[in-house]
Structure 1
């Protein structure tokens, strides 16, 4: 089974770029997430954290 998958993956042109693209997307997402966490105001975080407890 592994030989089949390895042979199939080797037949795809440019297959080595897909892991690099997914790593880049992963890295960019978490950099943006960390930036948002560190720049968010305390009031906004408090408001969002209380949303599940509020009754309409």
Structure 2
């Protein structure tokens, strides 16, 4: 199954946390990324939805 927009966003979020050397538990990361996603404007969510659609087409 191809990843949805949130999963792609979450992966990018995790990559950024790792780049900044944050050591958080996955349960904390999940809550954090969920809250950030909820607060993102539609244009950001739409960009991730577009990426998800492109990934789906490639599969």
Pairwise TM-score range, normalised by the shorter structure = 0.3 to 0.5
Using CA pairs below 8 Å that are at least 6 residues apart, which structure has the higher relative contact order?
Answer: 2
Larger Rg: 1
TM-score, normalised to structure 1's length? 0.34
TM-score, normalised to structure 2's length? 0.33
